Amino acid sequence: LEAMHRQKTGALLKASVTMGAATGSVPAQALEQLGRYGAALGLAFQVVDDVLDVTADSATLGKTAGKDAAADKPTFVSLMGLTQAQAYAERLLDQAHAALDESRLDDTAILHALADWVGRRAY
């Protein structure tokens, strides 16, 4: 499940972050850390999505809550349990923040804010 989501949401966010950075004069080491940030953020987004599927209501989500469980789809919650999935999302977000810090770039506030939003989103 993790490998699949790393190749989907993780790859999408990694590409978005690194392509944006590549258009500027970002050092190779920083570009590598931004890739780590994007990959961790994308996977965290998916884990949080799985958590919300079981903790939020349909009106808040804007889609049918519990749809994954009803379809017997494997999710991080179904494989790890709710508490462990929530903790895993937090670890991934910590990794994303650490990668930004290790990039040594001057202005990463908006990327830190994006990671914070992923962790606290309700939909």
- The band of 4, judged by pLDDT with boundaries at 50, 70 and 90, is confident
Report which residue type is found at 4.
M
Residues 73-89: tens digit of each pLDDT: 999 999 999 999 999 99
Domain coordinates of the chain in residue numbers? 2-120
- What pLDDT shows up at residue 85? 98
- What pLDDT shows up at residue 101? 98
What is the CATH superfamily name and number for domain 2-120?
Answer: Farnesyl Diphosphate Synthase (1.10.600.10)
- What pLDDT shows up at residue 25? 86
Output the pTM of the full model: 0.92
Q: What is the mean pLDDT of residues 98-103?
A: 98
